[in-house]
Structure formats: structure tokens, C-alpha cells
């Protein structure tokens, strides 16, 4: 990140949200089999366009038309991994934003190595839970399969270490932690944004985290990386809060969440969004 990058604020979040609505970016999703339907609906409702182009014959070709890419390691078959490799190489060559979601990278060695290998192609954003971020950074993990036993705050040091490979690292939790850096004449400044999560129903809705990664990819195509990630998390959190107020069970929450992603407006951000940005010390 350069010194000219604007630190996220309510104003930059609102501008990013409006840009998303105006531009409707096309996001290529190479994701796990569990998440496909929900992820597509999240993108459509939020204001983007999904494309689940995930076969090796088309993956690299399609990224030329897409505005962004999300790569999700939830169910990495051999064919899917080949598609991921082809797409991220092309995205890197074309300087298009792409998001790495290293599901269970801290718990399973093969996919952990895949995620580490993908860092060569400089993902714009790495998004996961705390255990995945810690595991990918090689700092050990308390992951239990696909779930995190770490709080998002535990991942901050690991996130800082990963900034050699990416612009932004985000860890989801009750309070999402998003880490980035700026470079200027005086050296490197590290930044931490915190976005309070929208509902305790999120962990009970499969693919809610995966779909956030896709929304991050959409926002990354319309604004700068740090602001994109904060805006995506903010959009998700506000929609989650509004949906939570209307429901008392996860099935109803899932339906209302999709509705609220579509309905969120500037007044909702002003009323429901809880976030902060602070400077971090070097790790």
C-alpha cells in the first residue's frame, strides 16, 4: 500500500458501497461445493454478479472478463486445484484483485501447503478465521477441523507477518479484525480495523464466511484493498444486524440476511455499523 491510500472511514465505506451498486462487478468464484448457491445469492443481493466458472478448461480464460476472483479451499479436488492455479496465475499477470480463503489451512497439511504455495501469486486479500490465519502464517493453530478455536484478536500478529504476501488480512469473529499497512518516507505503518459482527446466527449458516470472501472480492474491484475489505465486512455486519432483529432461528435468519444485503443503505450504515481503525505497532 502506498502512503496515499485513504484509511477507511464511514465516508469511504459509503462511497465503496455506492460504487458496488453502480458498477456491479463480475466475480469469478472458484469455491467449495457447499457454498456455491449461497455465495451466488450473497453477491447478487449485495449488488455484484457471480460467475461459478471453476473448470480447468475455462478458469484462466474467464478471469480476463471478470473484475475479481475468490479462491476458496473448502473442498479442493484435483480438478478444482488445477482451476485455482490457472486462474490465480492469470489474475496475478493481469493485476486483477483476488481473494484467498484458506479454509482449514491450519488443520490439514495438504491444503495448508496449497495455500502457502498460492501466496507466490500475491493475493490482494487473505480472508479466513483466526485459526486459518495463524496456521497459514506458520505460527501454530488450535483449529478443530473447519472451525476456529482462536478469537480473531489472536490472529493480529500472524496477519501482520502475512502482509509480505498480500495487501490485507482479515479474520472473522464476533469482532472481525482486519490488518493492513501503509508505506511512507518514515517507514511502514500497520493498521487494524475492527468491525463488530452482525449476528450469532452466522456460524449456524453454512457458507456465511465463504460468501464474505466473495463479497470482499467484489468490493476489491471497486476501491482500494483496505477500504474494500472494511466495506465488505461492514456491509455484511449491518445486514446481519438488521436480519437478526427480525428473526429468532438460523433458517429465518439466512432468508432475511439475503434480503437485508439488498436493502442496506447509507442510513443503515450510519445507524448500525460499529467499527474502528487504529495504528498497530510493528510485530
Query: What pLDDT sits at residue 154?
Result: 87
Domain ranges of the chain: 10-280
Distance CA 76, CA 79 (A): 8
d(CA 77, CA 32): 9
Q: How far is CA 277 from the centre of its chain?
A: 18
Radius of gyration of the chain (CA): 17
Specify whether the CB–CB gap between 39 and 29 falls below 8 A: yes
Residue found by looking up cell 476456529 in the block: 148
Question: What residues of the chain score a pLDDT lower than 50?
Answer: 1-4, 144-146, 148
pLDDT at residue 145, rounded to an integer: 45
Tell me what pLDDT residue 3 has: 45
Q: 42-45 long-range CB contacts below 8 Å, 24 or more apart?
A: 42/211, 42/212, 42/214, 42/215, 42/258, 42/261, 43/211, 43/214, 43/215, 43/218, 45/258, 45/259, 45/261, 45/262
In this structure, what C-alpha cell is assigned to residue 34?
Answer: 457447499
C-beta separation of 7 from 180 below 8 A: no
What is the structure's pLDDT at 151? 74
Phi-psi region of 187 (alpha: psi -120 to 50; beta: other; left: phi over 0): left
In angstroms, the CA 167 to CA 181 distance is 7
In angstroms, the CA 114 to CA 128 distance is: 15
Q: Residue 77, CB half-sphere, CA atoms under 13 Å: how many?
A: 9
User: By the 8 A CB rule, do 106 and 65 touch?
Assistant: no
Which pLDDT belongs to residue 153? 83
Residue 52 grid coordinates: 461459478
* Nearest-angstrom CA–CA distance, 215 and 233: 8
Burial class (CB in 10 A: 0-12, 13-18, 19+), 18: middle
CATH number at 10-280: 3.40.1190.20
Amino acid at each position: 500500500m502506498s502512503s496515499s491510500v485513504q484509511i477507511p472511514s464511514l465516508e469511504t465505506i459509503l462511497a465503496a458501497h455506492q460504487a458496488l451498486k453502480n458498477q456491479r462487478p463480475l466475480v469469478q468464484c472458484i469455491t467449495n461445493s457447499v457454498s456455491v448457491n449461497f455465495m451466488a445469492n450473497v453477491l447478487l443481493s449485495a449488488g455484484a454478479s457471480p460467475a461459478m466458472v471453476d473448470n480447468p478448461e475455462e478458469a484462466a480464460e474467464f478471469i480476463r472478463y471478470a473484475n475479481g476472483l475468490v479462491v476458496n479451499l473448502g473442498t479442493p479436488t484435483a480438478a478444482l486445484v488445477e482451476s485455482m492455479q490457472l486462474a490465480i496465475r492469470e489474475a496475478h499477470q493481469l493485476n486483477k484483485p483476488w481473494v484467498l480463503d484458506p479454509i482449514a489451512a491450519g488443520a490439514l497439511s495438504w491444503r495448508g501447503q496449497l495455500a502457502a504455495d498460492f501466496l507466490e501469486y500475491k493475493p490482494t486479500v487473505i480472508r479466513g478465521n483466526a485459526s486459518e490465519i495463524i496456521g497459514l502464517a506458520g505460527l501454530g493453530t488450535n483449529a478443530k477441523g473447519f472451525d476456529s478455536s482462536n478469537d480473531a484478536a489472536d490472529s493480529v500478529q500472524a496477519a501482520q507477518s502475512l502482509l509480505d504476501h498480500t495487501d490485507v488480512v482479515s479474520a472473522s469473529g464476533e469482532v472481525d479484525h482486519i490488518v493492513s499497512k501503509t508505506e511512507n518516507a518514515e517507514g511502514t505503518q500497520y493498521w487494524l480495523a475492527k468491525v463488530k459482527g452482525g449476528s450469532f446466527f452466522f456460524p449456524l449458516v453454512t457458507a456465511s464466511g465463504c460468501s464474505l470472501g466473495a463479497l470482499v472480492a467484489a468490493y476489491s474491484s471497486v476501491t482500494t484493498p483496505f477500504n474494500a475489505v472494511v466495506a465488505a465486512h461492514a456491509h455484511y455486519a449491518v445486514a446481519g444486524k438488521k436480519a437478526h432483529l427480525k428473526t429468532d432461528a438460523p433458517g429465518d435468519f439466512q432468508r432475511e440476511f439475503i434480503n437485508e444485503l439488498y436493502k442496506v443503505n447509507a442510513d443503515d450504515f450510519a445507524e448500525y455499523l460499529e467499527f474502528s481503525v487504529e495504528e498497530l505497532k510493528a510485530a
